[in-house]
Chain A
Amino acid sequence: MTSRVPAFKVRATARVADRAMHLALWLIALTFVAVLIGFVGGILKEGWSELNLGFLTRMPEALDAGGGIKPELFNSLYLVALSLALAMPIGLGAGIYMAEYAGQGRALRFFRLCVETLAATPSIVLALFGMILLVQMLGWSFSIRSGAVTLALLNIPVITRVTEESLRGVPRELLEASYGLGATKLQTILKVALPYAATGILTGVVLTAGRAFGESAILVFTAGTNVSQHFPDFRLSVPGETLSVHLWYVTSDGTLPDATQIAAGTAAVMILVLLALNLLVRLLDRAIRRRTR
């Protein structure tokens, strides 16, 4: 009796489709590589002529050409530092709670939902919130402190999530070893879990710093579009335009004759800072991988 199963052959069309899709996938991927290169290259090329010490160390001009970005650079770093200083303890605390104390039930799911929602909230919405509560109701006006607090709202969910994830990645055996020696839960968290998770958390913090550094929508409405006339001005009550806000403001305001150059130079500076941060993240990542091997 002959088998009723026909002799199947992979159809030629299927083979062709397979080849074509393989090619298409490579093409799509390479397109993104090209987009990135074109992008970073384009920004750096446009801003190249501005990349000099004078540009970085001059005060900005209000109406004339030739302004620098000294206070904006300072404000960017200052605001990132302040917002991280605010967000770190809160994010760490919340992450620790969710990983170690919240259990596995409904409470944890609810907290996660909240953290995700805050993480997904558009920065313009956070900006509105900061503007109502801090700028207007508390009367802080457009200032470093309004900006720092609102910017912290952007950082908190990211740090919370990365803390929770890193703590969950701590091997159970290490925790058991610590408990087995008679350590309290707090001691175990502080002396075993957090040190182990530290590199992961740090990576998250650096990524957060990068995001905060590039953020503009929040700061336009909370830290304002002006800078103090003093330098360096550490006061929290003065307006604090950052690099990213400056970049946006000079292009949309259009009073500066050399707005395009200044924007291009600022963009180039920001790209360079972010490339450096990216490098840092990769080094941290490598450290993590070395340890787990």
Chain B
Amino acid sequence: MAEPMPDLPETTLDAPLLPDGLARIATQGTPCPTPVFRQSHLHRLADRWTHLLFLACTLLVVLLIGGILYFLAARGAGAFFPLAGNTDKVVTFREVFLSTNWDPGDGHFGIVPFIAGTLAVTGLALLVAAPTGVLTGVFIAKVAPPWMRNVMRQVMDLLVGIPSVVYGIFGLTIILPMVGHAWLADAPAAGFAVSAAILAVMIVPTVVSLSTDAFESLPSSLDEGSQALGSTRWQAIWRVLIPAARPRLLTATVLGLGRAIGEAMAVQMVIGNNPQWMLLMRQATDQTPVLRFLFTPAATLTTELVQELPNTASGSTWNNVLFAMGLLLYLMTMLLILATRRLGRQEHA
């Protein structure tokens, strides 16, 4: 017998199935020609246990998600509760989340200006990036000739690869002076408008690449069907393709939003870093509130962290509130990721 299977009782089989009139000899193995191969013991052991190593790597990622949450929450909580290691007074949630007054020297820790700043700058950026990104996606997937498709892919790859500080320095040394001279006489140009413009360029590749995928994954029968009915190409895009790709387009936008919310350095370099921007807006009396809003030096959650964290003592209320802001950012991204999950389910439904 060739290569015996591990010791096992012989199987009891029913009588052999015989085509009519054929004699059979008993079940028996044929001699096996040399050489006989066997997996070495080591290979078997490795095969049995290495997946635990891979699992450990995966669990590390899970652990990191929890770890980040834990450490940020532990430090952030110090602002509100008298925990060990606290060297400073505590503040109430009200004083932090509902107040627009940020004046840490004076004991005021209202972070509304930063939340509002983050919403304003990301909202403005999205206003530009979402429609242009989706349209560029349509362009790449359905309209552009192949060579232009390649060019656009390259352009997006390069845009996404440029570091935030380089975007920042570009805004600071090239855009700000330009805008300042042209539109605003001598007023400083720093603020939401320029930050949002730069942010829009930074997140557009994310929106473009995901919406290109969305349009490319639609069956080509969809727009062919529509155009066969005599719709123009644009009607096919607007009435058939965009609605069909909607969940994934929204996902693209949400992920773009996530990137925008988290961006720190580029915005910090051009936004002007004024925590009191809401106060300034309120006191302003000129005729053009929109222009004022767009060009008032302001601040966001991320920029304020970059700006102030290095200057605060660990354990102080100030420092703890900053960590609470970090926690808020983290929770926002988690929420956005969960939102993309929802959208993903919608797509399959």
CB within 8 Å of B: which residues of A?
8, 10, 14-15, 17-18, 21-22, 24-26, 28-29, 31-33, 35-36, 39-40, 42-43, 46, 89-94, 96-98, 100-102, 110-111, 113-118, 120-126, 128-129, 131-133, 136, 153, 156-157, 160, 182, 184-187, 207, 210-211, 213-217, 220-221, 244-245, 247-248, 251-252, 260, 263-264, 267, 270-271, 274-275, 277-278, 281
Contact = CB atoms under 8 A, between A and B. Distances in A.
Contacts of A28: 132, 135-136, 139
A117 B65 contact: yes
Interface residues of B, number: 87
Contact of B135 (A24, A33, A40, A213): A24
Contacts of A120: 255, 258-259, 262, 333, 336-337
Given A22-B234, A111-B62, A125 B72 contact: yes
Contact of B173 (A211, A215, A264): A264
B261 A122 contact: yes
B158 A278 contact: yes
B165 A90 contact: no
13 contacts: A14-B235, A25-B138, A32-B155, A36-B155, A110-B62, A120-B259, A124-B262, A128-B75, A184-B47, A187-B47, A247-B165, A277-B161, A281-B157
A270 B170 CA distance: 13
A96 B53 CA distance: 10
B164 A214 contact: yes
Nearest to A37: B155
Interface of B: 37, 39, 43-44, 46-47, 50-51, 53-58, 60-62, 64-65, 67-68, 71-72, 75, 132, 135-136, 138-140, 143-144, 148, 151-152, 155-159, 161-166, 168-170, 172-174, 201, 204, 230-235, 237, 255, 258-259, 261-265, 268-269, 302, 305-306, 309-310, 314, 323, 326, 329-330, 333-334, 336-337, 340-341
Contact of B54 (A29, A94, A110, A136): A94
A86 to B, nearest CB: 11
Contacts of B67: 129, 133
Given A29-B139, A117-B65, A117-B337, 7 more contacts: A32-B156, A101-B51, A116-B340, A129-B67, A133-B71, A216-B164, A278-B157
Contacts of B56: 93
A10 B157 CA distance: 39
Contacts of B169: 43, 247, 251, 263-264, 267
Contact of B230 (A8, A26, A101): A8
Contacts of A271: 162, 166
A116 B337 contact: yes
A114 B165 CA distance: 28
A281 to B, nearest CB: 8
Given A28-B132, A114-B62, A271-B162, A18 B258 contact: no
A148 to B, nearest CB: 15
A124 B166 contact: no
B341 A156 contact: no
A114 B61 contact: yes
Contacts of A214: 161-166
Contacts of A185: 47
Contacts of A129: 67-68, 71-72
A244 B265 CA distance: 10
A121 B305 CA distance: 15
A217 B164 contact: yes
B221 to A, nearest CB: 21
B65 A182 contact: no
B68 A274 contact: no
A123 B262 contact: yes
B163 A244 contact: yes
A94 B50 contact: no
Nearest to A268: B166
Contacts of A114: 61-62, 65
Nearest to B51: A101
Contacts of B155: 32-33, 36
Nearest to B258: A120
A248 B269 contact: yes
B313 to A, nearest CB: 12
Contacts of B336: 120
Contact of B333 (A18, A121, A211): A121
